[in-house]
Amino acid sequence: MILTSTMTGIDSPDPLQHAFKVKSAPHAARSGSRPVTVDDALWQQWWQTPTQADKRALYIHIPFCRKRCSFCNFFENGAKPERISHYMTTLCQQLTTAAQTPLAQSQPFDTVYVGGGTPTDITADEIAQLGQAIQGFPLVANAEVTLEGRLNGFDDDKFNHALDNGFNRFSFGVQSFDTEVRKAAGRFDDKDRLLARLQQLSQHPTASIVIDLIFGLPGQTMDIWQQDIQAAMDSGAHGVDLYQLIALAGNRIDKAGEKGKILGTDNSDFQADSQTRANMYAYGAKTFEENQWQRLSSCHWRSDERERSIYNSLAKSGIEILPFGAGGGGNIHGYSMMNARGLSEWHQAQVTTESYSSDASLAAKLAPAKVPAMTLSPNPLVHFDAIFKRGLDSGVLDFNNLAPKVVAHLKPLFEAWQQHGLATLDDNGLSLTLAGRFWNVNMQTGLFEFFDKNPIV
Ligand SMILES: C[S@@+](CC[C@H](N)C(=O)[O-])C[C@H]1O[C@@H](n2cnc3c(N)ncnc32)[C@H](O)[C@@H]1O
Ligand code: SF4
């Protein structure tokens, strides 16, 4: 039996701060797949074959931003109106075609996520067209349909067009409410404006308004973070995500760091270390829960039951996700895939597929353009691994979902987590402590490492 500290964490008087050195990655995963080539015939076959999945989602990517924020490396293309309108026209055509295929029609979709980039930067009319294209797919009653983006430029006209065309959840990146921290991060709008707009939008009787906050931004002291948490509660938002700043190669913070600089505010070059970030997480988690916000996952809380976070929770369960748009990722019939990221490559793929010149029999069949840049074979462990990903992310691993043999195999790891203050263990399952919830991605990564080094025979 091999147990390493990257699996178990270390013994320390303060596991919240010290169980692991640093967050290992944004997400945990292990690969059981190999790259495959998708030819026209296989692509066609996918869209003509009904799904085997019982839960499914659509992911639609809108890769445009007006500004490159310091912390982010999701920026892909500047938001030029003609470029966006050309993209949206093509994207809506693709969605309309895809919606009519046997694959799309074979089972309703539980949730739809329009992410980016900044989808809220498209026009009100484009939001309406996109919403209508989405409604062409079979959706379950009360399906969750999310539009991601930010508050700047998201006026009443856009909100109303979105609501009238099926969107019922709005996820806004706030990151920090602090005006100086925001300025340093390259964000628009000051605190008062953000709060006023959120309070207005949250008045809607049914739409779910969700905000993202990041802890660990340059210049964001503990004091400012405490004000951020208070502002989130004052904003009227129905859900909040708390994300630890991840050092992403190539973003502006990272590039400044390489030159020994911190992109702080005029008043502060403070950059929280891993221990301070742990305390920031703990402060946010405790404050929400003391104020009756309900925890839905290790990083997401809600103040109102209209907020369900269906996409985020199902995506961690390895469900089918049909991906659309340049750079969109998902999986079809168990094959995970990522669409071509470059805009011209993505547009070119539409033209090439429309011709299907090599085989007339394929041209007659309905399918969206073939745009995958990378496709992986089905991972036989996807559902097994999802039990751990989803369980540890939610804070509770229920042993009823696992074979007794698997629980027995993992017991040394679970006991080490308990000893290190990351979880409590009983016959029914494993419950993560606050420290465990902060380190849950390291625990997921550690668990997959445990399986690799100690395979179940
Ligand atoms: C794809 S981004 C879209 C955000 C939206 N366009 C905006 O401007 O707020 C989704 C979320 O990822 C999070 N994010 C981006 N970069 C991050 C980083 N380096 N570390 C942690 N979270 C990050 C942010 O909270 C952001 O709201
Ligand atoms: S935070 Fe949003 S607007 Fe800023 S670069 Fe990332 S995706 Fe674009």
Q: Largest Cα–Cα distance in the chain?
A: 69
163 has a pLDDT exceeding 50: yes
Overall average pLDDT of the 381-403 stretch? 95
SS3 annotation, 48-94: HCCCCCCCEEEEEEECCECCCCCCCCCCCCECCHHHHHHHHHHHHHH
Token pair in block for residue 271: 């950059």
Q: Which DSSP letter does residue 443 get?
A: H
Q: How far is CA 179 from the centre of its chain?
A: 26
**Integer Cα distance of 198 and 57 in angstroms:** 27
| Total residue length of the chain | 457
Confidence of residue 80 (pLDDT cuts 50, 70, 90): very high
Residue type, 327: G
CA distances from 220 to 77, 230, 246, 296, 310 (A): 28, 14, 15, 26, 30
Of the candidates 187, 182, 178, 266, the residue with the CA atom closest to the CA atom of residue 224:
178
Cα atoms in the 13 Å half-sphere on the side-chain side of 195? 16
Rounded to an integer, what distance in angstroms lies between the CA atom of residue 82 and that of residue 280? 42
List Cβ<8 Å contacts ≥24 apart for 126-129: 126/84, 126/85, 126/88, 127/158, 127/161, 127/162, 127/165, 127/167, 128/161, 128/162, 128/164, 128/165, 129/88, 129/92
pLDDT-wise least confident of 275-284, 368-377, 389-398: 368-377
Compute the Cα dihedral for 404, 408, 410, 416 and give only its sign.
positive
Distance 173 CA to ligand 2 centre (A): 8
Partner residues linked to 429 by β-bridges: 398
The predicted structure's pLDDT at residue 72: 94
The lowest-confidence range among 11-20, 96-105, 341-350, 409-418 is: 341-350
Range from 62-71, 209-218, 346-355 carrying the lowest mean pLDDT: 346-355
Q: Is the pLDDT of residue 362 over 80?
A: no
Buried b or exposed e, range 258-277, using 16+ CB within 10 angstroms = eeeeebbbeebebbbeeebb
Pick the more confident residue, 287 or 349.
287
**Are the C-beta atoms of residues 91 and 59 closer than 8 Å to each other?**
no
Task: Determine the average pLDDT of the residues in 83-111.
Answer: 97
With bands split at pLDDT 50, 70 and 90, how would you rate the model's confidence at 364?
low
Q: Measured in whole angstroms, how far is the alpha carbon of residue 128 from the centre of its chain?
A: 23
> Does the pLDDT at position 442 exceed 60?
yes
In the reported structure, the alpha carbon of residue 408 is separated from the centroid of ligand 2 by a whole-number distance in angstroms of 44
C-beta of 436 in contact with ligand 1 (< 6 A)? no
72 within ligand 1 shell (Cβ under 6 A)? yes
Question: pLDDT of 296-317, one tens digit each?
Answer: 999 999 999 999 999 999 998 8
Q: For residue 258, report the distance from its CA to the centre of ligand 1, in Å.
A: 21
Whether residue 23 has its Cβ less than 6 Å from ligand 1: no
Provide the pLDDT confidence category of residue 206 given band limits of 50, 70 and 90: very high
- Residue 107 pLDDT > 80, yes or no? yes
**Environment class of residue 130 by beta-carbon count within 10 Å: exposed (0-12), middle (13-18) or buried (19+)?**
buried
Q: Report the C-alpha gap between 76 and 107 in whole angstroms.
A: 33
Q: Is the CB–ligand 1 distance for residue 248 below 6 Å?
A: yes
What's the pLDDT at 358? Answer: 54
Cα angle vertex 50, ends 47, 56, to 5°? 90
pLDDT tens-digit map of 303-361: 999 999 999 999 988 899 999 999 999 999 999 999 999 999 999 988 766 555 455 55
Domains in the chain, please, with CATH?
5-30+380-453 (1.10.10), 40-315 (3.20.20.70)
Residues 164-182 pLDDT 10s: 999 999 999 999 999 999 9
Residue nearest atom 17 of ligand 1, based on CA coordinates? 72
Q: Is the link from the previous residue into 131 a cis peptide, with omega within 30 of 0?
A: no
- Minimum CA distance residue for ligand 1 atom 5: 149
Kindly identify the ligand whose nearest atom is closest to the C-alpha of 151.
Answer: 1
For residues 105-126, average pLDDT: 97
Which ligand 2 atom minimizes the distance to the CA of 116?
7
Strand order through the sheet with 335-339: 294-297, 300-302, 239-244, 208-215, 169-175, 139-149, 109-116, 56-62, 320-324, 329-332, 335-339, 372-376
pLDDT tens digits, 253-263 = 989 989 989 89
Q: pLDDT tens across 23-41, in order?
A: 767 777 777 789 999 998 9
For residues 415 and 1, is the Cβ–Cβ distance under 8 A?
A: no
User: Which residues does residue 215 pair with via DSSP β-bridges, in sequence order?
Assistant: 244
**Rounded CA separation 160/53 (Å):** 33
- The residue type of 302 is R
Give first-to-last CA distance, the chain, whole Å. 13
Average pLDDT over residues 421-439: 97
User: What are phi and psi for residue 417, nearest 5 degrees?
Assistant: -60, -40
Give, for ligand 2, the residue of 61, 62, 65 to mutate: max count of ligand atoms closer than 8 Å to Cβ: 65
Cβ–Cβ contacts within 10 Å for residue 414, how many? Answer: 20
Percent of the chain with pLDDT over 70: 97
Q: What is the reported pLDDT for 359?
A: 57
- When the pLDDT of each residue in the chain is averaged and rounded to a whole number, the result is 94
pLDDT at 30: 76
Ligand 2-lining residues (CB < 6 angstroms): 65, 67-69, 72, 74-75, 116-118, 173
